[in-house]
Structure 1
Amino acid sequence: MDKVDMLVVGSGPAGRRAAVQSAKLGRSVMVVDRGRRLGGVSVHTGTIPSKTLRETVLNLSGWRERGFYGRGYRVKQEITAHDLMQRLHKTLDHEVEVLQHQFMRNMVRSVTAEARFTGANEVALTNPDGETWRMGFDKALVAVGTRPFRPDYVPFDGLRVFDSDEILEIDHLPRTLTVIGGGVIGVEYATIFSALDVPVTLIEGRDKILDFIDREIVEDFTHQMRDRGMSMRLGASVERIESGPTGVDVTLGDGRRIRSEMLLFAAGRQGNIGALGLEEIGLEADKRGRIKVDDKTFQTSVPNIYAAGDVIGFPSLASTSMEQGRVAACHAFEMPVPPAPETFPYGIYAVPEISTVGQSEEEVRKSGEAYECGIARFRETSRGHIMGVDAGFLKLIFSLKSRRLLGAHIVGEGATELIHIGQAVINLHGTVDFFVENTFNYPTLAEAYKIAGLDAWNRMSR
């Protein structure tokens, strides 16, 4: 029986980073993935596809230029599903090639198979041809990711009613679209299709969307969604979904009915743990298939087995999953790992983007700490005007006592890139004086940090 130092189940962000880190520590590594190609959910149905789709839509629709040329402006007048899929497949091919080369350079072995634990140091592997063999391991990392939650009352058919995996395989763009789920995935796809001028209705059972984001940011984002014609049904429970030959009817708890050509159900995800045989090694998962781990080492209740990525739950980001995989591998082979930074950025690739790091205003207020905010609106910056940006802003929150930056929040063009300045200042314990005293390139959107810093400084100095 073959044996390796580290067995990694899943080749997504957490799995690949753990595998490479283990290899760099001189350990033998085997990556097991049941998908046809390496990359996991992130590459094939999650992070990369949705972001590629977004970028393609923004480019072909001329969205970024509409501030100058009007809402009717388009780079390509007739945009088809084929246009979107063509770029998507080219991007995915590149991602897989990069990952394969990375494994080759680090001598990480990989195999296409389904893994099932038969003991704390042994796994049974079954390849697509049905052949089964056993492999031993010293340490293991479970990084199997998640799949869309598919409740029984939703008539998924791959023709009119889709989950967030299936929506990537549509053969034509819908005339109208209903999206159920106001979380990150639902909001991203709703705004992407809206940028294609598809009339979209977003349904969310809670009274708010994105309730972990600073309220002022969400309010501005919601205003932009409604301003371009999106309908939002918040606090609305779904009573019934009926799919017919001409469209999909959704009946809400208050009696209202919504009809559209297609429907995307994007309300939650669940862990891909079904075939792992976790019960064989005494591991349990919650009702959504999430595995409990130590939040610093990512070690499960079985000491030599770790779990990382979406399968352990929040924050379920590719960026944090990579770091979790690296930390787990280091801990497994007794390598020292410094404490994690105080904060990490959260990016939502909607149209427009949202990105946030540190505390929201609601969290600061709840803590009782005296604070002040600074605001910079992108339309008031020279670069914003040059680009035709007519919406979006940066919000900085500072402590009145220590003058330290507590939180940075952005809605608008380039938010997920710009946020890293705020992240660095927060983690390096920087204050409002950093933004006031330093020079930023001009004209840039990053200059908004200086403007927001000065805005807060003026109030703090009174």
Structure 2
Amino acid sequence: MKTYDVVIIGGGPGGYNAAIRAGQLGLSVACVEGRSTLGGTCLNVGCMPSKALLHASELYEAAVGGEFASLGIEVKPTLNLAQMMKQKDESVSGLTKGIEFLFRKNKVDWIKGWGKLDGVGRVTVSDEQGVITELQAKDIVIATGSEPTPLPGVTIDNQRIIDSTGALALGEVPKHLVVIGAGVIGLELGSVWRRLGSQVTVVEYLDRICPGTDEEAAKTLQRSLAKQGMKFKLGSKVTQATVSAQGVNLSLEPAAGGSAETLEADYVLVAIGRRPYTQGLGLESVGLETDKRGMLANQHHRTGVPGVWVIGDATSGAMLAHKAEDEAISCIEQIAGKAHEVNYNLIPAVIYTRPELASVGKTEEQLKAEGREYKVGKFPFSANSRAKINHETEGFAKVLADARTDEVLGVHLVGPSVSEMIGEYCVAMEFSASAEDIALTCHPHPTRSEALRQAAMNVDGKAMQI
């Protein structure tokens, strides 16, 4: 039996960052991961490959859709889907190998196989050949991530009915792709295939897209995506899917009740969310139980069993890689006897469509529900110099500030490259900045980031460029 200070089950963003931080702090650490590569869902079949395809498909659409021609660039593009997938895989491979390097650098042992608890302080690992390795540690961190949530009546076969993993590896461009779920994954992957030539229809049970985001921002994004050709069937539920050699017939009903209809597609993407991956972890061996969703409860990353910790998608909170990374650092710092915590009020969220949607803090709907008085400052990208000369004028920057103190409470951006800009407000809000603080801060010109300052100025009606 090998003995460590810390054993981490799972090699995704939560697990590998926890392992690296433990190594940096001088702890002996092992990370158990059954995939052939590190990085978990995010690096292998999630965040990173989807961004590779989003980037490539944006360039392709710019070439075939006339944007290049309007800039004076004459090309006759041809889609080479196999090469597009190849460069995506090469990028992913480079990232996963980078984590292996960081493990070696920080003296982290990668135990290859699937791990489970085997009593307090013990983990057993089974590799592909069935060889069992026993590990012992004072502290064990569960960082097993999540998996796609199944939809009753719609069986995923990754042939015609696919999940997010299947949508990243299609060998042809669908004629008609139906996406079930208007959240982050559905909209991003739907965008990829629409740009490459698919007709895309998004079916959503709720009467809006992007549940949980600021409603005005979500509506603005939906209008933009609809203008690009994406069709939406909101307030609709899928009750059955019938697969044939040619495609899939979906039975739809209004969520509020009413007459059913049939929707035909050659591929269907099920993207209704994700659920914690906690089955088969041997939780019963230490007396742990999950809730109905499979989620483990935590108090500052501690489970109800001393020495067993949980981070990332396997526990409560947003299922985001950067949230898992923050929890990883906080968890390991506490194990090492240091003080650390995560500010869950300032976890940014991004949807990487075009335009992008990025937000941090409270939405207008949340502030209204709390009865908190607030001020709104908005600035459209159509009035931003850099956005105008780049022909990227859709969307806006919106700042919500406390009516009395002027403290920034929430920021919601729809527009070009806003994923790269939301961090400014994350920093500002971490220091409890006021809208005036941002309004008084010089921003470089011409940049899209000037919209952030103008929105802050407009909280008190002082925007100068509209």
SS in 2 for 1:237: strand
Q: Is it true that 1:435 corresponds to 2:438 in the alignment? A: yes
Quickly say closer, same or farther: Cα 1:368–1:69, change in 2 above 3 A.
farther
> How far did 1:409 drift?
0.5
Q: Match for residue 209 of structure 1?
A: 209
> How far did 1:142 drift?
0.7
Q: Match for residue 450 of structure 1?
A: 453
Q: Is it true that 1:320 corresponds to 2:323 in the alignment? A: yes
Q: Match for residue 256 of structure 2?
A: none
Q: How does 1:101-116 map to 2 (within 5 A)?
A: 101-116=101-116
> How far did 1:159 drift?
2.1
Q: Is it true that 1:396 corresponds to 2:391 in the alignment? A: no
- Which consecutive segments of 4 or more residues in structure 1 shift more than 6 A? 73-76
- The one-letter code of the counterpart of 2:230 is M
- Relative to the length of structure 1, the TM-score reads 0.94
Distance in 1 (CA, whole Å) between partners of 2:59 and 2:74 is 9
1:308-346 residue CA offsets vs partner (Å, 9 max, x unmatched): 111114301111100101111111222122563741211
Distance in 2 (CA, whole Å) between partners of 1:341 and 1:289 is 21
Distance in 1 (CA, whole Å) between partners of 2:146 and 2:453 is 40
Q: Match for residue 365 of structure 1?
A: 368
1:240-278 residue CA offsets vs partner (Å, 9 max, x unmatched): 111112221111123122111111011122222222111
SS in 2 for 1:62: helix
Distance in 1 (CA, whole Å) between partners of 2:282 and 2:37 is 23
- The one-letter code of the counterpart of 1:192 is V
> How far did 1:69 drift?
4.7
Q: Match for residue 133 of structure 1?
A: 133
Count of paired positions:
457
Distance in 1 (CA, whole Å) between partners of 2:315 and 2:297 is 6
Quickly say closer, same or farther: Cα 1:250–1:142, change in 2 above 3 A.
same
Q: Match for residue 387 of structure 1?
A: 390
Q: Match for residue 289 of structure 2?
A: 284
Distance in 1 (CA, whole Å) between partners of 2:18 and 2:149 is 27
1:350-399 residue CA offsets vs partner (Å, 9 max, x unmatched): 23211101111112222223322111111211101111113111111122
270-279 or 380-389, larger mean C-alpha shift = 270-279
Q: Match for residue 273 of structure 2?
A: 268
Query: Residues 155 and 242 of structure 1 are in contact (CA less than 8 Å); yes or no, is this contact kept in structure 2?
Result: no
Distance in 2 (CA, whole Å) between partners of 1:11 and 1:91 is 18
Quickly say closer, same or farther: Cα 1:182–1:262, change in 2 above 3 A.
same
- The one-letter code of the counterpart of 1:37 is T
Q: Is it true that 1:256 corresponds to 2:265 in the alignment? A: no
Quickly say closer, same or farther: Cα 1:89–1:68, change in 2 above 3 A.
closer
Quickly say closer, same or farther: Cα 1:445–1:139, change in 2 above 3 A.
same
Distance in 2 (CA, whole Å) between partners of 1:65 and 1:406 is 39
Identity among equivalent pairs (%): 26
- The one-letter code of the counterpart of 2:93 is D
Distance in 2 (CA, whole Å) between partners of 1:343 and 1:223 is 27
- The one-letter code of the counterpart of 1:244 is S
Distance in 1 (CA, whole Å) between partners of 2:195 and 2:431 is 38
> How far did 1:23 drift?
1.4
Give the one of 280, 293, 306 matched to 1:303: 306
Query: Residues 65 and 387 of structure 1 are in contact (CA less than 8 Å); yes or no, is this contact kept in structure 2?
Result: no
Q: Match for residue 187 of structure 1?
A: 187
Quickly say closer, same or farther: Cα 1:87–1:68, change in 2 above 3 A.
closer
Q: Match for residue 47 of structure 1?
A: 47
SS in 1 for 2:157: coil
Q: Match for residue 408 of structure 1?
A: 411
SS in 1 for 2:133: strand
Distance in 2 (CA, whole Å) between partners of 1:13 and 1:396 is 30
182-191 or 149-158, larger mean C-alpha shift = 149-158
Distance in 1 (CA, whole Å) between partners of 2:378 and 2:151 is 42
Q: Please, which runs of 5 or more residues in structure 1 have no aligned partner?
A: none
- The one-letter code of the counterpart of 2:339 is P
Distance in 2 (CA, whole Å) between partners of 1:262 and 1:78 is 23
Quickly say closer, same or farther: Cα 1:70–1:423, change in 2 above 3 A.
same
Query: Could you say what the CA RMSD is over the residues aligned between the two structures, in angstroms?
Result: 2.2
> How far did 1:149 drift?
2.2
Quickly say closer, same or farther: Cα 1:371–1:272, change in 2 above 3 A.
closer
> How far did 1:83 drift?
3.1
Query: Residues 352 and 413 of structure 1 are in contact (CA less than 8 Å); yes or no, is this contact kept in structure 2?
Result: yes
SS in 1 for 2:118: strand
Q: Match for residue 356 of structure 2?
A: 353
Distance in 1 (CA, whole Å) between partners of 2:368 and 2:240 is 40
> How far did 1:60 drift?
2.5
> How far did 1:198 drift?
1.7
Distance in 2 (CA, whole Å) between partners of 1:221 and 1:415 is 13
Quickly say closer, same or farther: Cα 1:76–1:173, change in 2 above 3 A.
farther
Query: Residues 38 and 99 of structure 2 are in contact (CA less than 8 Å); yes or no, is this contact kept in structure 1?
Result: yes
> How far did 1:206 drift?
1.4
- The one-letter code of the counterpart of 2:266 is E
